[in-house]
Amino acid sequence: MKKYISYGILLPAALVLAACTAKPAVKSIEERIAEVLPQLTIEEKVAMTHAQSKFSSRGVPRLGIPEVWCTDGPHGIRPEVLWDDWNQAGWTNDSCTAFPALSCLAATWDREMGLLFGRSIGEEARYRKKDVLLGPGVNICRTPLNGRNFEYMGEDPYLAGQMVVPYVKGVQENGVAACVKHFAVNNQETRRTSTNSVVDDRTLYEIYLPAFEAAVKEGGAWAIMGSYNLWNGEFNCHNKRLLCDILKGEWGFDGVVVSDWGGCRDDDQAITNGLDMEYGTWTNGLRGAPSDSYNNYHLADPYLQRIADGRVGTTELDDKATRILRLIFRTSMSAEPHYGRFNSPEHYAAAREIAAAGTVLLQNRGSLPLSVPDGGRLVVIGENAVKKMVVGGGSSNLKTKYEITPLEALREAFPNANVVWERGYVGDVSTSYNRVSTGQDLSDPRPADKLLADALAAIEGADAVIFVGGLNKSANQDNESTDRLSLSLPYGQDGIIEALAEKVPGLIVVNISGSPVAMPWKDKVNAIVQGWYGGSETGHALADVLTGAVNPSGRLPFTFPASLDDGPLKTERQYPGIQVEGEQWWQEYYDEGVFVGYRWYGSKGIPVCFPFGHGLSYTTFEYGDATLSKSSVRSDGQIRLSLEIDVKNSGERDGSEVVQVYVAPPAGKVERPAYELKGFEKLFIPAGKTGKATINLGSRSFSRFDAEAHEWVVDPGKWRIFVGSSSADIRSEAVLEII
């Protein structure tokens, strides 16, 4: 055997080879942190806690610690921007796959879609060498007027929590941190940086925290973003109660807290109250400043000065640096390499599948699925049939490789028919945002009466007519920094739909929006489809559902009220807030408490346009009797039981049904909603077959938060458990006695 000399010792060649090829023991993240942290200077630690550019913070080059790079989501990877400016940098290789808005993802009621979404967007982020994806958002739809409802996951904390967990896991599988936002009670865009949300603890814990809690405790989120607003008098990007006591204390969060851009307001609170990384809208927080002003951030030179003169110690700094190192070792310096993919066929297929799965068939009197004979005439009316929606809306603005419009997809679906488009109305003709452009020319000189006349003329002799309208991402619609002004459709669309309905008995209306709209014409049209901002494949997904290539299975993630006046927000002090003498900030009082969305409408018996959880199919489903694994449980123990129910597809098409479970409490001293969602399962069932839904219920399914005792409690008594196809379509019922 050939031999080698090593340090004066004669070794067999086989041993040398084994020693050379053996993999070194992989140190844990905590071991790596313990090695690196003592080597950092105070200046290096502070440098890691604040931005150095629009989307990055410093690393430690002398130790090989890289910068942290963030990117806006949550629907796609934002185009590269200039170092100090929001405008795009002009790259030619940063056109991403645009995925559907999160309101569409929530409408799938499908955890597998959440995982697919997270994995896909996480791969795109990793390919672009991003460490933190600024999303998803899980703020509750408290009012349908909130301009960012389209970026969130509906009005119910349980649904949002169930959908955010797989999204977070999918993103982080790729070595990219999901940064769940905006923590917390951030439910409007009006005066978002100067409004104090006055919310009691019970409401906070039952409605506005559960989705964040699920993201942290079940999803294992590596980052959380604070919100612009204040809660109970303290800005949320450095709110001690929210960040130190609840997030890092009660929930055990070990990741980083990131400020919203410009959300940090106070030097001392930024240091002591749980913030780890500070970023800014401009180079100096919310205000414009020269490009060297990053050193003026609250967690920059002011921090160093406070340490130097002894006003603060370094305990908080070490905690921040530890968390930032943990983030880096989980992402760019992960022991497991990640490479990602960008604009892959699989990603476009995922975008199409998710968008179709979230499309909701609200009403159908026989007009759908759509069929147009060869040589026939399909008339499509409405600006949203051609307007590309990926560009705009605020920080979710994207540059995508392509975007299929509904009109393009319908022409593709019916190649042998004459598919005619008429605009009907002129809404938003803008086609660019932050120098990202769709390349469209949407100008139209025709006055409103001419547009309507041309639309009415076009429908003569049509085999089918589809109106494609709704909202867009311009100011005072689905748009960051502004709220909507009313629940009504803009640009006179209600009148156009009414006029079309008079002449077309089988009129199909497609509403594209990210939030609820009023539909006063509901009973005058044959079919209504709720589309969303579906991303790159939005048109294909919509056409898939309209034609029946995909059997619709989406369900509403929020209530569509008949009127804004019917909702729980009755006063100016509730929304958008009031100025109180002697108070520095606008005050917004959550006087409705836990009665948000369907909890309000159901408890008050107020009829709605379409209820939470509603959605139809091209097939029919029959429910059996619901059975519980236990008929009674003790309130002072850990409750664990399961509910089972058979569901038969009694129609002629394969399809998916969303089985929803609501619990109704016994009468008691504490006012509670009439029923609350506590479980769901999406079942795919072939035609004529029967599927079984099994839904687990635990203590939290029956708990309310006792603010005085600061704990979750279960009220004894007879609980009714409703099983149905929506919050207003109950098919079966069981009773559980809690003793």
Q: Are 727 and 613 in contact (CB under 8 A)?
A: yes
In order, the DSSP letters of 674-725 are: S-EEEEEEEEEE-TT-EEEEEEEEEGGGGEEEETTTTEEEE--EEEEEEEEE
How far, in Å, are 115, 176, 629 from residue 122 at the CA level?
Answer: 10, 6, 39
The neighbouring-strand residues paired with 720 are 664, 735
Distance CA 509, CA 365 (A): 12
Q: Which of 117, 413, 57, 402 is nearest to 261 (CA)?
A: 57
Q: Of the candidates 730, 357, 358, which has an alpha carbon nearest to the alpha carbon of residue 557?
A: 358
At 67, which amino acid appears? E
Pair 202, 149: CB distance under 8 Å: no
Taking the CA of residue 324 as centre, how many other CA atoms within 13 Å lie in the half-sphere pointing to its CB? 34
Catalytic residue among 260, 267, 276, 483: 260
Dist. CA 572–CA 98, nearest whole Å: 37
3-state secondary structure at position 571: coil
In angstroms, rounded to a whole number, what is the distance separating the alpha carbons of residues 423 and 491? 12
- What angle in degrees, to the nearest 10, is found between the helix axes of 345-358 and 111-127? 150
In the beta sheet, which residues pair with residue 284?
A: 287
Residue 396: name the closest of 513, 533, 280 by CA: 533
Instruction: Give me the residue label for tokens 């002398």.
Output: 62
Those residues with Cβ within 8 angstroms of residue 323's Cβ, 6 or more apart along the chain or in another chain:
254, 255, 256, 276
3-6 and 9-12 beta bridge pairing = antiparallel
Give the Cα separation of 585 and 573 in Å (integer).
Answer: 13
Contact 51, 59 (CB under 8 A): no
Query: Tokens 């983030």 label which residue?
Result: 327
DSSP per residue, 203-250: HIIIIISHHHHHHHHTT--SEEEEPSSEETTEEGGG-HIIIIIIIIII
The answer to whether the beta carbons of residues 721 and 664 sit under 8 Å apart is: yes
Is 260 designated active site?
yes
Spatial distance between the Cα atoms of 179 and 183, rounded to a whole number of angstroms: 10
Element spanning 645, H or E:
strand 640-649
> Any idea which residue has 């409703």 for tokens?
722
* Cα-Cα end-to-end distance for the chain: 79
Lookup: tokens for 115: 């995982």
- Residue pair 237/264 in contact by the 8 Å Cβ criterion: yes
- Distance in angstroms (rounded) separating the CA atoms of residues 449 and 451: 5
- CA–CA separation, 484 and 185 (whole Å): 18
Token pair listed for 280: 């800014």
Strand partners, 732: 723
Q: Which long-range contacts (CB under 8 A, 24 or more apart) does 632-635 make?
A: 632/736, 632/737, 632/738, 632/739, 633/736, 633/737, 633/738, 633/739, 634/738, 634/739, 635/714, 635/715, 635/716, 635/738, 635/739
Given phi > 0 = left and psi -120 to 50 = alpha, else beta, which region is 41?
beta
Catalytic positions, please? 260
